[in-house]
Structure 1
Amino acid sequence: MSTFGAYATPVLLLLASNVFMTFAWYGHLKYKASPLWIVVFASWGIAFFEYCLQVPANRLGHAVYSAPQLKGIQEILTLLVFAAFSAWYLGEPVKWNHVAAFALIVLAAFLLFLD
């Protein structure tokens, strides 16, 4: 694998895993009439695919990133995916204070990459 691929592949896998994770954790909010046990099992089924992407992402990523850096990347991607999901799927627009809070979390994650 090329140097670029070694750095990019884990990020892309984490991005994809975050899409599944976000649907598993928050997708059921559109189906409040569904029994809780059904949405729990549906969420578990969706989360299976998240883990199928996240575990290899972390395994491959640990060759080029530290564990804290991987977690920081994960948090940044989680915020980006969630913001898009919240606006697109749930119809809850991202407000200025959400952006400000997310920016502070991104700044905190960025510090993980400094020596």
Structure 2
Amino acid sequence: MGKSICAVTLLGLVLCGVLLTSVYAGNDYLWGEVGPNDYKLAKDTVSKAFFVGLVQTKKFIYEQKNNLNALTVTAVKVTDKKKNHGATCELVAGGPGSKGVTLKFTSERGYGIKDVVEIWGR
């Protein structure tokens, strides 16, 4: 009887941990892979304040000025700073293998956007 209670308790704790990490996990994204020879091309915070009852959207565009010497993007990393009710992110154009990136952020209704974007390349 003692082993079954211990197993049920352990199973319950594991399930609670899984549920809590899914509830409190942000919407983090990674397109591509950061290699050992890659440079951080850009790091920027994307934010937009909440407005009651509305879904907020914001577009992030990364372009390199000198196209002749432009580096190729190898990875795009988005870190959600809001662990509850964070915004989703969509890679609209560019990304790994290209020279630029366009991202679209969409918040939950009634919540804002606060994400950090890192762009890596070589």
TM-score, normalised relative to structure 1? 0.26
Greater percentage in helix: 1
Greater percentage in strand: 2
Q: Which of the pair has more CA radius of gyration?
A: 2
